[in-house]
Amino acid sequence: QKEVEQNSGPLSVPEGAIASLNCTYSDRVSQSFFWYRQYSGKSPELIMSIYSNGDKEDGRFTAQLNKASQYVSLLIRDSQPSDSATYLCAVNLFKLIFGTGTLLAVQP
Amino acid sequence: GAVVSQHPSRVICKSGTSVKIECRSLDFQATTMFWYRQFPKQSLMLMATSNEGSKATYEQGVEKDKFLINHASLTLSTLTVTSAHPEDSSFYICSASAGIAGDLKGNEQFFGPGTRLTVL
């Protein structure tokens, strides 16, 4: 089992819709979780960090963490074509462990 | 968010030469810096972790004599690819954190823009 798993996608949503990105992790010791956005040919950009169970909102982004289920998600409200990118889930296990990323395509 | 710069952004070199890549944290002190490599359509692969003033810790399978890392100050780390070969061609990305490597709670990592290395 991979340490951090994400659906590779592509996840296609219409402009203005909610995009839901999911991530599961295998090690219960993990205490900090991150979502990064990576445009093609560019380096990752930190979007959200979350450390406690529940929801954390920042603008159009909401991160959700459920440690009991070992599950992290990212919701993007009012999706825009500029949100089209690969979204990387990362879990801190003494070092960052990245998932392979989910490709999001927002259709105009 | 914090700003990390990387230089050069792109380099093309001949096989057998050495290439140095610089990573700087511009507006915070980076206790820990990380070096990653990313091949096309693959995820990030951690190469090594360095704490300021200490020797870098390399991931399994990464040759420390080929990828020399120096973290001389709290704002600067360098990666030198020695005797580069075509198979070293990749996208090299550094990241910086104000936290301490190995800390489970782990502070956020901020990435530089990356260096695209092409070895002919």
Query: What's the pLDDT tens digit per position in A62-98?
Result: 999 999 999 999 999 999 999 999 999 999 877 889 9
Q: Cis bond leading into A44, ω under 30°? A: no
Q: Which residue has the higher pLDDT, B30 or B20?
A: B20
Confidence of residue B13 (pLDDT cuts 50, 70, 90): very high
HSE toward the beta carbon, residue A99, CA cutoff 13 A? 30
Query: Is residue B2 very low, low, confident or very high in pLDDT (cuts 50, 70, 90)?
Result: confident
Question: Chain B window 44-103: which residues touch A at a Cβ cutoff of 8 Å?
Answer: 44, 46, 49, 91, 93, 101-103
Contact B93 A43 (CB under 8 A): yes
Has residue A36 got a pLDDT over 90? yes
Residues B91/B10, Cβ–Cβ less than 8 Å: no
Min distance B9 CA to chain A CA atoms (Å)? 11
- For residue B107, the model assigns a pLDDT of 73
Q: From the list A51, A94, A98, which residue is nearest B43 (CB)?
A: A98
Q: How many H helices and E strands in chain B?
A: 0, 11
DSSP code per residue over A16-82: TSPEEEEEEES-TT--EEEEEEE-TTS--EEEEEE-SSEEEEETTEEEEEETTTTEEEEEESS--GG
What pLDDT is stored for residue B55 in this prediction? 86
Q: Residue B52 pLDDT more than 90?
A: no
Closest CA to B28 of B76, B63, B62: B76
Confidence of residue A58 (pLDDT cuts 50, 70, 90): very high
Report which DSSP code applies to B72: E
Which pLDDT band holds residue A11 (cuts at 50, 70, 90)? very high
Picking from B93, B104, B108, the nearest residue to A94 by CB comes out as B104
A4 φ, ψ to 5°?
A: -130, 125
Q: How far is B115 from A70, CA to CA, in rounded Å?
A: 34
- Cβ-in-10-Å burial (0-12, 13-18, 19+) of A31 comes to middle
Contact yes or no for B106 and A46 at CB 8 A: no
pLDDT above 70 covers what percent of chain A?
99
The pLDDT of residue B78 is 95
Mean pLDDT of chain A: 94
- pLDDT band of A27, cuts 50, 70, 90: confident
Whether the CB-CB separation of A58 and A34 falls below 8 Å is answered with: no
Interface probe, candidates A40, A50, A94, A95, chain B, greatest B C-beta count within 10 A: A95
Average pLDDT value for residue range B82-107: 84
Taking an 8 Å cut-off on Cβ atoms, the answer to whether B113 and A42 are in contact is yes
Number of CB pairs, chain A paired with chain B, less than 8 A apart: 56
Q: How far is B47 from chain A (nearest CA, A)?
A: 11
Nearest residue in A to B108, CA atom: A49
pLDDT bin (cut points 50, 70, 90) of residue A30 is confident
Say what the pLDDT of residue B42 is: 86
- At residue A31's C-alpha, the angle toward residues A53 and B75, to 5°, is 125
Backbone angles phi, psi at A82, to 5 degrees: -70, -10
What separation in angstroms does the CA of B44 have from each of A21, A44, A68, A107? 19, 9, 27, 27
